[in-house]
Structure 1
Amino acid sequence: MTAGLTDVYGRRFPYLRLSLTEACNYRCSYCLPDGYRADGRPHFLEGEEIRRLVSAFAELGMYKVRLTGGEPSLRKDLPAIIASVSSVPGIRKVAMTTNGCLLPRRLPTWREAGLTAINVSMDSLDRHRFHAITGHDRAGEILQGLDLALTLGLDSVKVNAVLLRDCNDDELPAWMAYLRTRAVGVRFIELMRTGDNQAYFERHHLRADALIEQLQRAGWSERARRADAGPAREFTHPDYRGSFGIIAPYSKNFCHGCNRLRVTARGDLRLCLFGDFGIALRPLLQADGDRAALVHRIATQLGLKEAGHGLHQGMTGLTPHLASIGG
């Protein structure tokens, strides 16, 4: 195993975000308001391809994998994928981001297969708002699933909420009440501009600075960031079991701490969520593929990683919507 992946800016990459599918059964207003539509292109990575991919990244020092989508739980082979990824030598953390639609029924199986952490997308605690944003009336089920997750010994249980002006930007007090007795991390994510949501972005984008000010006024303190943590600035309070995270991609120096690479559900390496090119890895993931060539291709492509994204200039790259690569 190498000492780890490092780019020309000195950033280290212990963390891989791997999309398992582009399909999603929700119709979130900020992502897929008209629902997912298959495009007829080649199918998503198979189980054996996924294992070869993760093994190559592990050989390069990567030890944390997050399974994303689309909605990863739509894959019927998800338990087998989790088990395969968790058994790769060197992989210590297997997390997943899900919309929670199958959480109460399937989470124990995923945990048994090797899942160590879960992030659940839940943009509102209010049932009617949740329905309006996602197109589904499942807030109650997801809350049940989160309570179940807290009993299963996972390393972390988190909630992702996209911050939307005039939709859910007044819910901080409700989330505080939720976190008083639950060891959950709630992360507010600034709405990001993607290839097909410009009008929605202009209408609902809200900078997270106001939330940070509210948290600090209420006695919440920022804590140091772990080496393999995501991009959130995390805040804790001695009177609450849970924590808040703020993900603000439009903030100054947001990309300085980047520590993750992405692979799409079709096997393309993306050096940035909003990059304008992908590097095809799938030809090297076949049974007769050259393992050394795969490792070499991953390692050498980091020289092309930019210092930061181009969101401030309206440059959204190849990402049409977040379901296409998992955020």
Structure 2
Amino acid sequence: MLQDSFGRRFYYLRLSITDVCNFRCQYCLPDGYTCEHDRDFLTLAEIEKLAATFAQLGTEKIRITGGEPSLRKDLPDIIRRCKQTPGIKQVAITTNGFKLPEHLPAWLDAGLDAINISIDSLDPKQFQLITGHNKLATILTGIDQALAAPHLTVKVNTVLMRGFNGDHLAQFLAWVKDKPVSLRFIELMQTGDNATFFDQQHVSGDTIKQALLNQGWMPALKDKTAGPAQEFYHPEYAGKIGLIMPYSKDFCASCNRLRISSLGKLHLCLFAEQGHELRHLLANETATAIASEITALMADKKVSHFLQDRLTGATKHLAMLGG
């Protein structure tokens, strides 16, 4: 079992397979994707070896991210290889849902267990303003299809922004009233490229937490492989609400995930100063040898992401590592 020097255990790997994204979200890539390197992304064989390596180290859950992972045509094969890895109990993806109704059947056939879909507004005009695409209706149709799929866990991610959706809580609550989806509000995080936007738009999740508690919502229990969301349920609602508040006290104390970039670097934190090269090992070393190297690198993991000190590390924008 992977463990760092602070006693935290790591069951969960976020695996980026591309940093390309076709959306232009205001908080991430407002000017669109710009390629700053060769698009020599991890191959299917490399991904298979990484999955086997992390499974040896106790990883039980792999989340496939981007950029936008569905831009890779071999995404179903990637899902299938990860799912077939002994020891991996859950395979999930995070997607913008651009072609969700079209892609979902192939993902399900490959063995997908869980899906997170990004929707930052339920208003079509506001959604287009945030993302640069008029795709909300398509994505909502895809979500309904996902909810109808047996055994598929469906979550929706919403990045909180003061001037775009900061006062939309009532609209979102009405949406989950009869829809069995977990909707998670994510505090806007500062990255290397968005400092001014962050200062203008950051909203604390504490205000939403208090509003939920005042309306009778109650905290839900978490699984050991769950993400950092504080989740709440209400007996009169089919859906749940989660809050991801990276600026809250002791947020990093429950850290249980590591990240691999689409170029094969191990990132011990989303906001680490650098990634550690693993790709040269994937070609020639066994999974056991690579696992030993990863175990040794855990000594470099810090106690905190230090976002509260406005230190954003090497993360220029969230598409680099899939958030």
TM range (shorter): over 0.9
Alignment identity in percent? 49
2:276 pairs with one of 276, 279, 290: 279
* Residue of structure 2 equivalent to 1:294: 290
Give yes or no for contact 2:18–2:41 (8 Å, CA) kept in 1: yes
Off by >4 Å, runs of 4+ in structure 1:
none
Task: Note if 1:84 corresponds to 2:77.
Answer: no
Structure-1 separation of matches of 2:77 and 2:154: 21
Q: After superposing the two structures, state which structure 1 stretch, 248-257 or 165-174, moved more.
A: 165-174
Deviation string 1:84-137 (CA, Å, 9 cap, x unpaired) is: 111011111000000000111110110110110000000000001000000000
Q: How many residues align?
A: 323
The whole-number CA distance in structure 1 between the counterparts of 2:224 and 2:49 is 25
Q: Against the structure 1 CA distance between its residues 251 and 25, is the aligned structure 2 distance closer, same or farther, given a 3 Å change threshold?
A: same
Supply the AA of the counterpart residue of 2:225: D
Q: CA deviation at 1:8?
A: 1.2
Shift of 1:42: 5.1
Which one-letter code corresponds to 1:264 in the other structure? S
Match status 1:6 vs 2:6: no
Offset from partner CA, 1:146-203 (integer Å, 9 cap, x none) = 0000111244100000000021011111111111111100000000000010010011
Q: Does 1:221 align with 2:181?
A: no
Match of 1:308 in 2: 304
Structure 1 distance, partners of 2:311, 2:121, is 29
The corresponding residue for 1:94 is 91
Aligned AA for 1:271? L
Does residue 48 of structure 1 match 2:55?
A: no
SS in 2 for 1:111: helix
- Please state whether the residue corresponding to 1:108 is helix, strand or coil: helix
Residue 127 (structure 1) aligned with residue 129 (structure 2): no
1:61 match: 58
What is aligned with 1:240? 237
Which of the residues 15, 18, 36 maps onto 2:12? Answer: 15
Cα RMSD of the aligned pairs, angstroms, is 0.9
Q: Give, as a single letter, the amino acid of the residue that structure 2 aligns with 1:60.
A: L
Instruction: Map 1:149-160; keep pairs closer than 5 Å.
Output: 149-160=146-157
> Is 2:314 the counterpart of 1:323?
no
CA contact (8 A) 1:284 1:291 kept: no
Q: CA deviation at 1:224?
A: 2.0
Where structure 2 has 5 or more consecutive residues not aligned to the other structure, the ranges are none
Q: 1:106 and 1:308, CA in 2 relative to 1: closer, same or farther beyond 3 A? A: same
Tell me what 1:189 maps to: 186
Distance 2:9 2:62 in 1: 15
Matched, 1:163 2:160: yes
Q: TM-score, normalised by structure 2?
A: 0.98
Residue type of the alignment partner of 2:322: G
Shift of 1:289: 2.7
State the 1:5 CA deviation.
Answer: 1.0
Change (3 A) 1:54 1:272: same
1:55–1:89 contact (8 Å) kept in structure 2: yes
**Structure 1 segments unaligned to the other structure (5+ residues):** none
- Counterpart secondary structure, 2:148: coil
Taking the TM superposition and a 5 Å limit, the aligned residue runs for 1:24-35 are 24-35=21-32
Which secondary structure state, in structure 1, belongs to the residue aligned with residue 223 of structure 2?
Answer: coil
1:115 corresponds to 2:147:
no
Match of 1:70 in 2: 67
- Using the TM superposition, give the Cα deviation of residue 279 of structure 1 relative to its aligned residue in structure 2, in angstroms: 0.9
Q: Tell me if structure 2 keeps the 8 A contact 1:23–1:69.
A: yes
- Map of 1:250 onto structure 2: 247
- Give the drift of 1:291: 3.0
Tell me the distance in 1 between the aligned counterparts of 2:42 and 2:150.
30
Q: C-alpha separation between the residues in 2 aligned to 1:291 and 1:263?
A: 15
Tell me which moved more, 292-301 or 16-25. 292-301
- Quote the residue 1:177 is aligned against: 174
Q: For 1:100 and 1:302, how far apart are their aligned partners in 2? A: 34
Does residue 209 (structure 1) correspond to residue 206 (structure 2)? The answer is yes
Q: Partners in 1 of 2:105 and 2:151 — Cα distance?
A: 10
